[in-house]
Structure 1
């Protein structure tokens, strides 16, 4: 077995191959390698798919003159000024989102808006995407998806119309020191800037056939067991369940679940209980349910993130739910205002906003109260005009959303008939 190791430095030193042998301790998966360490004439083994070097590795690594073999940092040529408050929105929380997006899509089927809204609302520190079905992307594309350019990424490109993985992280919070790409995983090691704590995060997209499943289990066990003192979180779509009750109207093979459980047990991993949903994947026809997505962590990681909780979020434009792992007890309530694109079609919308904002807001000397009152008044004025032009659009969206989510929960419990199943699928279409 083997995998690609991404090493900051000269372009010709970017992509290396590390072979797993009987002497795993000599060159484990995170060993810093240089061009003299390995024969680069034919670096790929059957275990590794050809993967291009990443734009970030070519263009966005800079050198530090401090002692040591290398000291990587990430940067951008045109970096926006980010305030301490903006950085704090992600640094103050610890969140990882994982999602099998089932292809980012194009045109009206494009799912980038959904991913952007997840990043905007949840402000994750890490975003792990599986089954992207896209070839190489550049850092500008990633920054647009992430919402600012305090980010970096590694990618496994798709093979034909299948696969593809992205792992994006907030570079204002996390310093990456090493990264790798294998057939089934992409992973990074780095340090949390605020505490200096080091941990590894791996994004998994599991294969379907038995032979490759076993390769993935062996690969994960090898990298964890040879770095078992490190903190680990393994997330993604494992394409496998652990028990019969994690499938409904879907084929359960006990021998496959046994092998998955053996990996978890011998690697000393903990399967973080998932709230919000029973299953994470639902077939397009609404008949088959499976729990394929999860977070696995070890004791060292739990000591770093003390109050971890995993939740399945609303499923939208994929057959999988996004899942989120977080260590954050803060809850500041709902945002004061949200904007619908259709509002921009309202006649005189710009004047409505101007009239509200020239008012003092009625907060006296309290600037924060003035801002709150202006936002509230803006929302009320626009909603009144929106009702005249569009009717209760927001109410209709919430109605279809409520119907879809209610029937989906009922379907997970196996308590849905054929008419309700059709109503559920129709409500999802109207919701989107």
Structure 2
């Protein structure tokens, strides 16, 4: 089973929907949590069908901001317990293990002075320690100075408040593999600021139930946030663990150049290393999705094909 959390920063245009579709094609998640959709429920329902998922629960946006959406495949047993503009709380059953656990998705209040309301919400949702509990989302806060690059130094009191709520609720950061920061400013002619705002945390009981779980910082040709995924099985079994290969036969196709150009342009702008890395990953993902549609999986998986490693 795989879960994805992504602050999509608006899905009201074809670029955003295409980026989400490509992400789901590559990662094949069972559950997807979207933040800042900036869409009404009817629009999210249409997108759910388009990206090949079965169920959805939507907290619609207010005006032109906010909006949460939870999408899933019908192979899941999922029950919504509570929700607000800043969270969706559910009970979820793993079909392979038959384990019932609590899954809370959080959007940290973007207004610094009101961030304490998010922490109180998490405390309110706290369960006894014998119930497996997983929490994910964009917390809009970092845990330590090392999780921020550029800009003014984060105030210690703000980080302490975040650390304290995790400690009070017996939640532990699950770590990650991939790029260090999940958000990067894209404003032109300003200093680039990068932070690790998105994460998965869980209590000890949940970690005991899923000891092989792994978190990955993915990429998408859209938004200033990286999608983050959680695989509940051994990380070695992750679909995209193998090295990306550029297939020689692609050069003969006129569409290849268009795919690369489109995904490079659609990825977050900027010339910093994080932005360039996102562009490269966006292109590789775009090429893999295009290849699968045009030639089928066998073209990439064939051991006899000529390729260039990257």
TM-score bucket (shorter structure): 0.7 to 0.9
Moved over 4 A (4+): 331-335, 394-401
Alpha carbon RMSD of aligned pairs, Å? 3.5
SS of 2:136's partner is strand
Aligned length: 272
Match of 1:305 in 2: 210
Matches of residues 30-69 of structure 1 in structure 2 within 5 Å? Answer: none
Cα 1:103/1:404, change in 2 over 3 Å: closer
Q: What pairs up with 1:250-399 in 2 under 5 angstroms? A: 250-251=151-152, 252-285=154-187, 287-329=192-234, 330-331=237-238, 380=249, 383=250, 385-386=252-253, 389=254, 393=257
| Secondary structure, counterpart of 2:42 in structure 1 | coil
Counterpart Cα distance in 2 of 1:325 and 1:400? 26
Q: C-alpha separation between the residues in 2 aligned to 1:219 and 1:287?
A: 31
Counterparts of 1:213 and 1:332, CA distance in 2: 36
Query: 2:55 aligned to 149, 152, 160, which one?
Result: 152
Measure, in 2, the Cα distance between the counterparts of 1:169 and 1:214.
30
Could you say what secondary structure the match of 1:261 adopts? Answer: helix
- Given that residues 155 and 186 in structure 1 are in contact (C-alpha distance below 8 angstroms), is that contact kept between their aligned partners in structure 2? no
Offset of residue 177 of structure 1: 3.4
Residues 344-382 of structure 1: CA distance to partner in whole angstroms, max 9, x if unpaired? xxxxxxxxxxxxxxxxxxxxxxxxxxxxxxxx9xx95xx
Match of residue 3 from structure 2: 96
Distance 1:102 1:166 in 2: 12
| Closer, same or farther: CA 209–137 of 1 in aligned 2, 3 Å | same
Residues 29-63 of structure 1 show CA distances to partners (whole Å, capped at 9, x for unaligned) of: xxxxxxxxxxxxxxxxxxxxxxxxxxxxxxxxxxx
Q: Secondary structure at the match of 1:121?
A: helix
Cα distance between partner residues in 2 of 1:399 and 1:116 = 13
Question: Unaligned regions of 5+ residues in structure 1, if any?
Answer: 1-93, 339-375, 412-420
Map 1:163-182 to 2 at 5 A. 163-172=66-75, 174-182=76-84
Please state how far the C-alpha of 1:142 moved relative to its aligned partner. 4.5
Deviation at 1:404, TM superposition (A): 9.0
User: What SS does the corresponding residue of 1:158 show, helix, strand or coil?
Assistant: coil
* Contact kept in structure 2, 1:275 and 1:310, CA below 8 Å: yes
CA, structure 1 residues 259+331, in 2 after alignment: closer, same or farther (shift >3 Å)?
closer
Distance (Å, rounded) in 2 between the aligned partners of 1:95 and 1:219: 26
Distance in 1 between the 2:63 and 2:263 partners?
39
CA shift for structure 1 position 169: 1.9
TM-score (norm 2): 0.76
Q: Does 1:240 align with 2:141?
A: yes
Whole-angstrom CA distance in 1 between matches of 2:30 and 2:198 = 19
Does 2:150 correspond to 1:249?
A: yes
Greater RCO, 1 or 2 (C-alpha within 8 Å, sep 6+): 2
SS across alignment from 2:181: coil
Change (3 A) 1:229 1:138: farther
Structure 1's 231 and 326: CA in aligned 2 closer, same or farther, altered over 3 A? same
CA gap 1:315/1:152 in 2 versus in 1, 3 angstroms: closer
Contact 2:44–2:69 (CA under 8 A) maintained in structure 1: no
2:152 is aligned with 1:220? no
- Contact preservation (8 Å) 1:133, 1:163: yes
Bigger Rg, which one: 1
Secondary structure of the 2:65 match is coil
Whether the 8 Å CA contact 2:222–2:268 is kept in 1: the answer is no
Q: Return the alpha-carbon distance in structure 2 between the equivalents of residues 404 and 318 of structure 1.
A: 7
Corresponding residue SS for 1:193: coil
Contact 2:183/2:224 (8 A) holds in 1: yes
Secondary structure of the corresponding residue to residue 160 of structure 1: coil
How big is each residue's C-alpha offset from its partner over 1:250-307, in whole Å with a ceiling of 9 and x where there is no partner? 3412111101000111111110112201111001137111110000111111122121
Q: In structure 2, what is the Cα distance between the partners aligned to 1:266 and 1:114? A: 37
What residue is the counterpart of 1:230 in the other structure? 131
1:189 aligned partner: 91
Q: Provide the TM-score with structure 1 as the length reference.
A: 0.56
Distance 1:199 1:136, change over 3 A: same
